[in-house]
Each structure stands twice: as structure tokens, then as C-alpha cells.
Amino acid sequence: MRHIMSYDIYIVGIGIKWIEHITLEVDRVLGFCKEILYIERAPGIEEYFAEKADFVTNLTDLYSEDSERTETYHEMATRVVDSALEHSPVAFALYGHPTIYAYPPFLVREMAASLGLSVKLLPGISALDCLFCDLAIDPSVNGIQMFEATDLLLREHPINTAAATVIWQIGSLETALFSSARSAASRFDRFRDYLLRFFPEHHPIYAVYSQPHPMLKSQVHKFEISKIEQFSTVLHSAVTLYLPPRMPSEVKNVELLSKLQDPNYLRNLTAT
């Protein structure tokens, strides 16, 4: 199928599980791009991209130990835009979903706008989607809130314990620098103390590493907040935390509740 309208840059999510999460839409778009620039380390992914486009560039190698992650993101965005100026259309492929806890796509959009280049964002399966399946959770039951781990501590966001909580990027807690080193157990002290402002010490945390490849299984570790330092070795850069609500929230508006099954009330809500 031909594309109806072409953009200079496609920013696409490729999901979490190797090439198995790539949507038909993204697969089709990659097939007409001249270059694919990507952030992903999975073995075999380069070969898949090489079948799609003449030029394939792995931007993951731009990360270096102790460097500022934002500087690396600027470098990545510049490479994508330069490539589009040279031979559009190009694709910028990122694991997961391209706008969920991912800064480079926003830099690309800004740079592209200032140069008159058009950009299209295409969704991918996020680590959040995988977490819902790995833990068999429906986020609508109690509602859900999400925080970035370091941002939670910086802004001291209040946590609503009646809703579920998802915490991203625990593996890069308390630093803006890139590091592939394992965390020290004491790294999580401030984080644990912050959670204990809202939850009792026995409240469970689920640390989820969702299946990154069909040959590997998802890993889920469940532990009490007060024991987090014992799990420092499993809290790596591809882990997301989930905390269930303390207790299900109660219905407060009983007057509205009484109307939910009332056909006459429904008639008031709908246009005739």
C-alpha cells in the first residue's frame, strides 16, 4: 500500500519486545524511508532495519559513561534532522512509545519546525502496556498516576494512595548523567523514605522488567517498600515500578451512584 501523504521525518515507536511489537503501520512506513536512525540495542534489530532502508544508523552508541543525557539527546536529534535535510523521508525509531518518557522526539520536532521540515509521530507498544499485561491490571479500576523516579523526589509530588502508582526510570535515580553501572543499595534510601511518607513500610512494590525478546521471560520482583535496598541489583535501567493502591477508594457521591442505572436520568444526559 502506498503512503497517502509523505512527511520528512517519521518518529516511530517500535515497542519493547524485539521486532515482534512493531506495528504494521510502522513496518510500512520504515519501508519507504531512505534512512532509519534508531535507539535500541536488541540483537537482530539492525538486520531488520537494513532490509527496510538503504541507510541505517544506530544512535545508541552516542551514550557515553558519565555524560549528560540531555547533551546526548541533542546530538541524536541533530543527527536525525541533518539526515532529513540530506535525504528525506527518514525514520527515527525508538523502543516503546515515542512520546512516553522520551525527550529526543520533542527536540527533533522543535528543530524540524525551525527548518520547515514536516514530522509525523507514530505510536508503539510502551513498557506501560507490557506492565499492564505482566501484572494483569486494568488501570481503570482504581485510576492510575505515573511519575519519573527522580522527578518525584525533586518536585515532591503528592501520591494519591487510593489510586495505583507507576514509577519510571528507577535505574537512573538521582542523576542526569548516563551510567551503565549497577546501583549501590544506599541509592534508594531517599526514595524509600519518600514513599514511606504515603505508604506503610510493608506496602508492596512490583519491579517489572517486561519481556524484551521472545526467548526471554518477563521478570517481576515483589518486595516491601522498607526492603527496597535488598533489591538494588534488579532495579536496572529497564525496570518500571508498580505500587497498588493502599485500599480501594470508596464511592463518595452516593446521589450520583443512585442515578447510574436510571433510564430517566440517562434521557436527561442524551440529546433526543
Residues that bind ligand SAM (CB under 6 A): 16, 96-97, 100-102, 126-127, 168-169, 171, 208-210, 212, 237-240
246: left (phi over 0), alpha (psi -120 to 50) or beta: alpha
Residue 105 or residue 245: which is nearer to ligand SAM going by CB? Answer: 105
Tell me, what amino acid is at 200? P
Residue 63 or residue 101: which is nearer to ligand SAM going by CB? Answer: 101
Rounded least distance, CB 131 to ligand SAM, Å: 6
Residue 34 or residue 236: which is nearer to ligand SAM going by CB? Answer: 236
Rounded least distance, CB 171 to ligand SAM, Å: 5
User: Strands 144-148 and 55-58, how do they pair?
Assistant: unpaired
Closest CA to 242 of 257, 220, 259: 220
Rounded least distance, CB 239 to ligand SAM, Å: 6
CB closest to ligand SAM, residue no: 96
Residue 88 or residue 240: which is nearer to ligand SAM going by CB? Answer: 240
Rounded least distance, CB 167 to ligand SAM, Å: 8
Contact 162, 147 (CB under 8 A): no
Rounded least distance, CB 4 to ligand SAM, Å: 27
Rounded least distance, CB 174 to ligand SAM, Å: 13
Residue 120 or residue 213: which is nearer to ligand SAM going by CB? Answer: 213
Rounded least distance, CB 242 to ligand SAM, Å: 10
Residue 42 or residue 185: which is nearer to ligand SAM going by CB? Answer: 42
Closest CA to 80 of 69, 90, 70: 90
Residue 88 or residue 170: which is nearer to ligand SAM going by CB? Answer: 170
